[in-house]
Structure 1
Amino acid sequence: MKIATWNVNSLKVRLPQALDWLAANRPDALCLQELKLEDRAFPVAELEAAGYHAVFTGQKTYNGVAILSPAPIDEAGVVRNIPGFEDAQRRLIAATIGGVRVVCGYFPNGQAVGSDKFDYKLRWLAALTDWLREELKTHARLVLAGDFNIAPEDRDAHPDWKDEIHVSEPERAAFRALQGLGLVDAFRLFEQPERSFSWWDYRMLAFRRNFGLRIDHLLVSPALRDACRSCVVDKAPRRLERPSDHAPVVLELET
């Protein structure tokens, strides 16, 4: 089973690239973030023509998440946004794909440590952790995928990264709290090249210089840890013309 996560930074702009990537890789589940479009504008027909079903929740200009699968998705099991957490921003969707509970999240950026947006980020993370604690009781086989906007360790950020956001201790503590539920960073189950990143700024030739962060993750529940066969960053879409600033991260499970 192949599960991937990709912040496309506007599905309208990146749709041709997404369709090409689906055709070349044929994932069983693709989690998308930053759709930046309303539900009525979601490209259902184009994806169906490519052989993919979709569940999604979006909003104009900002945020938005989706899960795509070649298998039909049972709408009855779909959750949109964190239950019990009042939030106008569309940042989370969950569905069951092939017996695996797939949770797709676009975690808040936080803007700057100490800001109101940073406080929102920490509250959102705490609510997510509380909900997942309950979700794991009924879904032992679970994958949490998405743009976390957190580089969990020093090796997940370029050594010259000077900004506190994405690497601050409160953010990393929140990441560790998710791991405290038993969730495992699938990428780190395997030997990886040094300075493996998934996001590079559009500015300052960052991608060419590999000045980036690893902020896109797939965390797996204990029941899936031994099923993990590989987890890699696919840099190819980042090399395209007008790319997303993120690259897909792909997890292969033996299920």
Structure 2
Amino acid sequence: MRFATWNVNSVKARLPRLLEWLDITKPDVVCLQETKVPADGFPPIEGYDVAAYGQGRWNGVAILSRVGLAEVRNGFPGEPGYPDPEARAVSALCGDIRFMSVYVPNGRTPDDPHFLYKLNWLAALRTALAGDLAGGPMVVAGDFNVAPTDDDVWDPAVFVGSTHVTPPEREALAAIRDLGLRDVVGRPLKGDRPFTYWDYRAGMFHMNKGMRIDLVLASPGVASRVTDAVVDREARKGKGPSDHAPIVVDLDG
């Protein structure tokens, strides 16, 4: 099986690139984030069943599957709203694995109310996942808006006082991993740090001044089947890309 996760930063704006990438990469399951369309406005994707959860111009998540799509759930129990529930998580059973696509709140700044919302959201996600993991194999993938360590940003000094790197955020992410989930891309790939996000500002991508904030967390049985995990930098190149690159993971069997 091959699966992937990608913050596309508007599925409509990126649709030609997405379709081309699907044709080349041929993933069986794809978790998408920041789709920015309501569920009934999500474009059909030939060859894939689609579970989409969206709210228009903001947020939005989806799962594409060509190995089945069952037990679809929008959000999760106990999910906080700010001030109303947002389209930030969708899960479904694809084959014998439950996939969850997540778009964690940004947090804005550490002194903004949105930062507390982010921490509360991550804590509620952990509680929900504790129950889900008891049900069988699982993958939680998406834009976590947290760089797990200083090695996951191009220059830690640049991010002092900013979100994505604060101890409370990292502790909230670590608490999720402590459920037994494994970060399958948390290692150097071919000698390079596997950043997944680069600001649109000129030169940031080409200078590799990025962050690793898109993650694939897998239950132990799934993680043990991983044969390859790659950040697809090619998908970040060219005209009109998302500011994120997809992660592609291959499993044996």
Partner of 1:228: 226
> In the alignment, is residue 106 of structure 1 matched against residue 103 of structure 2?
yes
Spell out, residue by residue over 1:88-142, the C-alpha distance to the aligned partner (whole angstroms, 9 max, x if none): 2100000011101101100110001131000000000000000000001112x11
Q: State the 1:71 CA deviation.
A: 2.8
Amino acid at match of 2:74: R
Q: Are the counterparts in 1 of residues 147 and 170 from structure 2 also a CA contact under 8 Å?
A: yes
SS of the counterpart of 1:208? coil
- Paired with 2:126 and 2:107, the residues of 1 have a C-alpha distance of 17
State the distance in 2 between where 1:142 and 1:71 align.
Answer: 15
Deviates more, 1:119-128 or 1:84-93: 84-93
Deviation at 1:189, TM superposition (A): 5.9
Query: Once the two structures are aligned, what percentage of the paired residues are identical?
Result: 42
Task: State the AA in 2 paired with 1:100.
Answer: I
Partner of 2:139: 143
Question: Which residue number corresponds to residue 66 of structure 1?
Answer: 62
Inter-partner Cα distance in structure 2 for 1:167 and 1:192: 25
For residue 207 of structure 1, what is the aligned residue in structure 2? 205
- The answer to whether residue 126 in structure 2 is matched with residue 132 in structure 1 is no
Number of the residue aligned with 1:156: 152
Specify the SS of the correspondent of 1:206. Answer: coil
> Which position in structure 2 is the counterpart of 1:187?
185
Deviation per residue, 1:152-188 (Å, 9 max, x gap): 0111001153252111111110111011100000012
Deviates most, 220-229 or 1-10: 220-229
Decide whether the 8 Å contact of 1:201 with 1:245 is kept in 2.
yes
Is this contact kept in 1: 2:159–2:165, CA < 8 A?
A: no
Q: Distance in 1 between matches of 2:127 and 2:186?
A: 24
Tell me: CA distance 1:196–1:86, structure 2 relative to 1, closer, same or farther (3 Å): closer
Alignment of 1:198 with 2:190, yes or no, is no
- Give the number of aligned pairs: 248
Equivalent residues of 1:91, 1:106 under 8 A apart: yes
Find out whether 1:56 has 2:52 as its counterpart.
Answer: yes
- Asked if structure 1 preserves the Cα contact closer than 8 Å seen for 2:184 and 2:216, the reply is yes
Inter-partner Cα distance in structure 2 for 1:98 and 1:189:
27
Give the distance between the partners of 2:153 and 2:67, measured in 1 at CA.
36
Give the letter aligned to residue 171 of structure 1. Answer: E
Q: Aligned partners of 1:153 and 1:84: how far apart in 2? A: 28
RMSD: 1.4
In 2, are the aligned partners of 1:190 and 1:231 still within 8 Å (CA)?
Answer: no
Aligned to 1:117: 114
2:144 corresponds to which letter in structure 1?
A: F
Is the contact made by 2:185 and 2:230 (CA closer than 8 Å) also made in structure 1?
A: yes
Worse overlay, 193-202 or 79-88:
79-88
Please say if residues 147 and 215 of structure 1, whose CA atoms lie closer than 8 Å, have aligned partners that are also in contact. Answer: yes
Aligned partners of 1:92, 1:129: CA distance in 2, in Å?
A: 13
- Compute the TM-score of the two structures, normalised by the length of structure 1: 0.93
**Alignment partner for residue 166 of structure 1, among 164, 167, 178?**
164
1:85 and 1:247 map into 2 onto residues whose CA distance is 27
Where in structure 1 are there 5+ consecutive unaligned residues?
Answer: none
Contact 1:187 1:218 in 2 (8 A): yes
Give distance in 2, aligned partners of 1:17 and 1:52: 16
Q: Which runs of 5+ in 2 are unaligned?
A: none
**SS of residue matched to 2:185:** helix
Mark the CA change 1:205 to 1:235 in structure 2 (over 3 Å): closer, same or farther: same
Q: Residue 217 of structure 1 corresponds to which residue in structure 2?
A: 215
> In the TM superposition, what is the alpha-carbon distance from 1:223 to its structure 2 partner?
1.7
The alpha-carbon deviation at position 222 of structure 1 amounts to 1.4
Distance 1:119 1:174 in 2: 11
